[in-house]
Amino acid sequence: MKNPFHSVSGASLLAVMFFAIMAVLAAPPEIKRKSDAQMSGTNDIPQSTFSIPAAPQEGRDPFFPNSFHGAASTALTQTPSAAAEALVLNGIGGTPDHKLAMINGRTMAEGETNEINTVAGRVRIHCIEIKGESAVVEVVGGERRELHLRD
């Protein structure tokens, strides 16, 4: 009795097996429905919260470990009169209807309140009026003073 597989050569059998494997591997992947993906879990992104310590005993700022900006500042303990003495009018500019004064390197308009760096520390001042050669400012919680341009 003759075996029917004797007529098939080894090379043709190998080719058929190769194409069968390629057909299985080339099949498109199974596509999941969107509803299945939504039911599998939430896509919420967790939010990070950072709290800046108010005192060195509470910890350090992880981004600026050597700074003490969260701790009580020495500028708050300065007397307003000492801070007012350290204010310098650097220049006056702007247009006639919108005058600007530069005080200790910080530009301010009339009615504006800013924190200014001085040798006595940071001081919060309010610009009351800008004149031709001077500016009237008030240290918040302190005295009112007229600053003149240097000669």
Query: Residue 63 has what pLDDT?
Result: 74
Question: How many domains would you assign to the chain?
Answer: 1
Question: Along the chain (151 residues), what's the average pLDDT of each consecutive run of 10 residues?
Answer: 60 80 75 59 74 74 70 48 79 92 93 88 90 90 87 67
Domain assignment present for residue 123? The answer is: yes
Helices (H), 46-145: 80-85
Domain assignment present for residue 59? The answer is: no
> By three-state DSSP, how is residue 108 classified?
strand
DSSP code for 63: S
Angle at 45 between CA 41 and CA 49, to 5 degrees: 140
Query: Residue 66 has what pLDDT?
Result: 76
Supply the pTM of this predicted model: 0.47
- The enclosing domain of 102 has a CATH number of 2.30.30
Query: Residue 142 has what pLDDT?
Result: 79
